[in-house]
Amino acid sequence: MFGRRRKETAREQPTDRSASLRPGTSPSTAQLRPRSAVLSGQAEELMRNRQYAAAIPILQDIVDSLRLSAQPGRPGRNERLGFYLSKLAGCLHETGSMREALAAAEEAAAILTPLLPQVRSSLYECLECSALALHALSERPEERAAAAMRAAALLAQESRPEFMEQALTRRERMLNLAALALKNTSDLREALRVYKEAIEVTESIAETLPDVRHRLAIHFASMATLHAKVGEYVEACAALESCETSMSDPEFALPPDNRLAIAAQLLALGAWMVANRHHDDAGRPLLLAIQIYRAVRSDTQKLIEPALASCLNQHAWNLCILGEHDKALPFVEEAVELLRPIAESEPAWQGSYAGFLDTLATALAMAGRADEALATCRAALDIERKLADDDPGKYQAELTKVESLLARIEGREPGNFTDR
């Protein structure tokens, strides 16, 4: 949080003037100045070395002292208090003390806001810290979005040429945070608007800061899913194409965590397409997600088998609906093999595993391999019955679907194997 803006904060850091006693000045206030300067230097050195936990008690000491000397109508003293509170909030955030970070950042913002524009950089920092802390703490997406947009709006006012790139980079980060929160509200169109703004900001700095270009792929993937959810299917496909174009850019390589974020959006988009009968197009995002999960799994050795298995199963199910069961079989067989050991050791995955077996049974039945289809379907049925006994409200509908599939495989019930 601090390394990015060392040059900027140096211009705003309050300076301690003469420590000599002046008429009407108490000794304790005067003595604070040299001590504060020493402590400030120690804290800055610790922050430069990312020793945030060690900097916290020093900054807290400075803040406590400044609170004692802060006076209404003395903006210089109040500015120092706000400045060090913003630094304290940043260190608390870096060490994971989110509630304390939020309290310090909000106090700093209340002090610094009336002092604009002289304290812009310190106010940027504390508003950004508030947004990040609320993102971790608040269960209200509207509150998280509002905090991030407040920071983004202030960053949009930056006009100093030497700070523009930094301000735009941080603004894109806040816009993304706001859009992530808005995706969990009913205002999906506002989330789309914020993503579009984030894309405009990212494109404006992509030429000079190539490292941010991978963010475009993330934004386009999220927009594709949101367009689909609000019924804008043409726009969803266009955003998907833009995502693919961004990912294929030879000028940068997507970091693994960002590739996983994109894959999750593509899986959501593919699942939506399958559920809404856009079967001819659903394979495109699902295959791209599978490709990403496989590559990241190979590169980082992360245990992402459940996500990869979900993509494989969703793609296989879509192929079955399209009548391409021969193509579906290798995908769903891989999905089942990936999830089996996980479901055996973690009961929470039993429902998903039964669903994968259902897909496999469907593909086998469509391929005319009735005996294998029956055995697989009965295995899925055994799992679903146990789950429905424990939680009928959650699993009874899935149990009914598997029972219906078994009846069709045995010839006791008419209908296509993919009818659900």
Check if the beta carbon of residue 157 is closer than 8 Å to that of residue 141.
Answer: no
Tokens for 190? 């506002």
- Rounded to a whole number of angstroms, the distance between the first and last alpha carbons of the chain is 51
Contact 308, 293 (CB under 8 A): yes
Domain 323-420: top CATH class = mainly alpha
Q: How many CA atoms lie within 13 A of 99 on its CB side?
A: 0
Q: Which residue has the tokens 């208090």?
A: 81
The ranges assigned to domains in the chain are: 1-13+33-137, 323-420
* Secondary structure (DSSP) of 215-270: HHHHHHHHHHHHHHHTT-HHHHHHHHHHHHHHHT-TT----HHHHHHHHHHHHHHH
Locate 356 and state its tokens: 């994968």
CATH class, range 1-13+33-137? mainly alpha
pLDDT of residue 33: 56
Cα distance between residue 248 and residue 150, in whole Å: 34
Tokens of 377: 């379907």
Rounded CA separation 213/225 (Å): 20
Shortest CA distance to 231 belongs to which of 282, 278, 288? Answer: 278
Q: Return the pLDDT at 21.
A: 31
Buried b (16+ CB within 10 A) or exposed e, 94-129: beebbebbbbbbbbbbebbeebeeebbbbbbbbbbb
User: Which H or E element spans position 67?
Assistant: helix 52-69
Q: What is the pLDDT of residue 309?
A: 94
Rg (CA), the chain: 28
pLDDT at residue 300 in the model:
57
The residue type found at 324 is E
The pLDDT, as a whole number, for residue 17 is 34
Residue 127, C-beta contacts closer than 8 angstroms, at least 6 positions apart:
105, 109, 147, 150, 151, 154
User: Which pLDDT belongs to residue 79?
Assistant: 85
What pLDDT does residue 66 have? Answer: 85
Q: Which residues of the chain have pLDDT under 50?
A: 2-32
